Structure 1
Amino acid sequence: MKGIYLDHAATTPIHPEVLEAMIPYLKEAYGNPSSMHTYGRETRTALNRARDLIASRIHCNPAELIFTSGGTESNNTALFSTMTAYTGEKKHMITTRAEHHAVLHPSHELEKLGFDVTYLEVDSTGLVNVQDVAAAIRPDTVLISIMYVNNEVGTLQPIEQIGQLAHEHGIVFHVDAVQALGKLPIDLSLLPVDIMSMSSHKIYGPKGTGLLYVSKHIPFFNYIHGGSQERKRRGGTENVAGIMAFAKAVELTTSEEALENWSIKAEGLRHTMIEALTKHLGSDEFVINGHPEQRVPHILNISFIGVDTETLLMNLDLEGIAAASGSACTSGSLEVSHVLQAMNLPDNVLHSAIRFSFGMGNDTNDIETAAQKVATIVKRIRK
């Protein structure tokens, strides 16, 4: 049975060209980039080339990029580094209840260390109100951390307005852009963003590689020690193969043409699924969660009222369809989505939600087949 993978927001398969770019640095070019000999200089040159390429695509200075192990480390570094750098001066940060756990959990840890954190509410579409952000600002606010694209419902946050607000008050602005890279154009020369987190495996690169942009104007406190790598900002030998693959993935997914083509394709897949579900179930038999307009097309969160999320996921898996209940970091435990809870959705919507997320390898036949199987399973369970 051919499977249908609809969980690209959790992770994507490695693109063949990305794998090809990675292999030489697992085989022939294996030197430590910190070594002075020819083998080390070879990999150091490759790292510089990768950093330059990524910087050119997101429009920043290569020296402002720090390679990490992924989005979670990037988010943790952004929060702990920024708050620690201002210890004794300011002790307050602002975020939302709908953030990824890679922001929420370190925020809780910061509270244990004596920092104050304000968790803003979002509306029923997952959108934060800029006026609420403004109202939460205090004289001792040092950081605002708001994600670009919500990983569970796809809602786009108003980061430009929030960033401008932050800068008017001299506040550092961090954006989790893990679900935005390779889906939306990112121009850090224009966006009012000071720190941005990104990840490789969401854009057809390997797991275990991430990126943190830190503006040269922002104080940075290094909390991973043990080496002078990454301009003494992150100790530890660089994952050269992963970084080279990450750079190739960025090259493939962030050009103007690639972004436009992906947007058209993803909108088509989204439309196909909604139309097929409407045909096989009826438009009143499911609820789409998230903002109807301020969203990305590749994430589609749907509640099938009266059908338990876990039961539906298990049945879909038996049919060869991979979907999710929410964030990949929590869906293994099948907890009720904290994002949907933050949106204050009714219990019957919370407990019946499924996230479908589309990728390059999907086509309309996949989506139509998946929708038909979803409808069949939903009808069977409801009976």
Structure 2
Amino acid sequence: MSSSEQVQRNWFEEVMVPCYSPMDMIPVRGEGSKLWDQNDQEYIDFAGGIAVSCLGHCHPIMVEALTEQANKLWHLSNVMTNEPALRLAKKLTEVSFAEKVFFANSGAEANEAALKLARRWAVDVHGEDKSEIIAFNQGFHGRTFFTVTVGGQASYSDGFGPKPGNIKHIPYNDIEALKATISDKTCAIMIEPLQGEGGVISPDPDFLQAVRDLCDQHQALLIFDEVQTGNGRTGDFYAYQGLGVTPDILTTAKSLGGGFPIGAMLTTTTLAQHMKVGVHGSTYGGNPLACAVAEAVVNFIQQDEVLAGVKQREQWLKQGLSTLNDKHHIFSDIRGKGLLIGAELNEKWQGRSRDILVAAGAHGLLLLVAGANVVRFTPSLVITQQEIEQGLEKLDQAISSLIK
């Protein structure tokens, strides 16, 4: 095929593995929180590439960082280190509890590293018996076989043969269930400090503190999966900072690179020493292009005014959704923190979150779902007030079309 040949949407069915069901339109360019498809139809983006495009599309600071690095150095492998990786790692230790960083390419890989570190630490320090991992129903930690098994939706890990063992799942926000499950054989608890895929569920105020205390009591590690909540998404640089509970290991990805694939596992010097040379690795982890972009993103987002702006936008969006709900009576709950917001459908609208997503798309608005009953909003952290208003107007039209 020549580069001038028009790309057709039906090529997807011809050449792609059918594990996705993408929208009919194909976006070709974006700016800020707007996208345009092949027919130059405009869309407002409330999805942000699933909480990834934290500075919207083609933000000048990201374009500049990538272009500058693209003319210097692309890839080395971890036989050598590189300047962008060292600068980014240093920055991440400055904005968090962490003292040591491991770079990967995705959230799943960061979580894989976290789980392997926890198991390795337990073997080294406590012996083979301490290998149990506790996680939560409806939790989501990635699609590798280890992370998908730790994730709390069996339907994602069933059907691939024997699963990694010694993993237990309990209900989120249930302190009694945790007390009944944790023991001295527990090596780690993996938890999202706000469940994303599972329906945008916030932790009860005393729940995460109880998790931390029980980990300490049983000498287990606390792993915070901040793949979706990190890098300013909740209005704090990391969600744990707004919750007063510090994990032993934290994972970050999604918005870390603002759209350039990168993930990181953050931890302490004491724990990091168990990842000796040869214990774990990644060909592309710490890639100079990814790290240069992520450094620009982190430097920008960690500014006080940007984080305060996230909290301001949370109010604009929640108020707008509330006004919309007064008109259409569709949501039973509007919840979440920062710009990770979930609107739960009421009894009359059960199971219809996907219908709303499709109708919104037809009206020029990109949304997400978090299960069959929750519409999820994860727009850019610097989305303008005007773009929020335009998006809500399109959502109004989409809901009206479904009511008709």
Q: TM-score, normalised by structure 2?
A: 0.72
The answer to whether 1:301 aligns with 2:343 is: yes
CA contact (8 A) 1:316 1:374 kept: yes
Q: 1:79 aligns to what?
A: 115
CA contact (8 A) 2:107 2:251 kept: yes
Q: CA deviation at 1:30?
A: 4.1
Say which of 112, 115, 130 aligns to 2:175.
130
Say which of 341, 344, 357 aligns to 2:378.
357
Say which of 271, 275, 295 aligns to 2:319.
271
Matches within 5 A, 1:202-221: 202-203=255-256, 205-218=258-271
Q: 2:288 aligns to what?
A: 240
| Structure 1 residue ranges without an equivalent (≥5) | 123-127, 327-336, 338-349
Range 234-243 or range 80-89, more displaced: 80-89
Distance in 1 of aligned mates of 2:345 and 2:301? 30
Q: CA deviation at 1:191?
A: 4.4
Aligned partner of 1:248: which letter?
Answer: A
Q: 1:22 aligns to what?
A: 66
Q: 2:28 aligns to what?
A: none
Aligned partner of 2:295: which letter?
Answer: A
Matches within 5 A, 1:323-342: 323-326=367-370, 337=371
Structure 1 pair 130/97, CA: closer, same or farther in 2 (3 Å)? same
Q: 2:18 aligns to what?
A: none
| Structure 2 residue ranges without an equivalent (≥5) | 1-40
Distance in 1 of aligned mates of 2:164 and 2:84? 42
Structure 1 pair 91/251, CA: closer, same or farther in 2 (3 Å)? same
CA contact (8 A) 2:98 2:267 kept: no
After superposition, what is the alpha-carbon deviation per residue over 1:269-305, rounded to whole angstroms, capped at 9, x for unaligned?
2212322342x32xx33222556xxx44542333263
Q: CA deviation at 1:98?
A: 2.3
The answer to whether 1:118 aligns with 2:168 is: yes
Q: 1:58 aligns to what?
A: 96
- RMSD, aligned α-carbons: 3.2
Distance in 2 of aligned mates of 1:105 and 1:179? 16
Q: 2:213 aligns to what?
A: 164
Distance in 2 of aligned mates of 1:298 and 1:31? 33
CA contact (8 A) 2:331 2:343 kept: no
The answer to whether 1:91 aligns with 2:131 is: yes
CA contact (8 A) 1:6 1:359 kept: yes
Structure 1 pair 113/80, CA: closer, same or farther in 2 (3 Å)? farther
Q: 1:46 aligns to what?
A: 84
Distance in 2 of aligned mates of 1:320 and 1:168? 52
Q: CA deviation at 1:374?
A: 2.8
The answer to whether 1:155 aligns with 2:201 is: yes
- Residue 94 of structure 1: SS of its match in structure 2? strand
Q: CA deviation at 1:219?
A: 6.5
Range 315-324 or range 231-240, more displaced: 231-240
Query: Paired residues, what number?
Result: 333
Say which of 293, 300, 314 aligns to 2:358.
314
CA contact (8 A) 2:221 2:248 kept: yes
The answer to whether 1:192 aligns with 2:192 is: no
Distance in 2 of aligned mates of 1:137 and 1:257? 41
Aligned partner of 1:202: which letter?
Answer: S
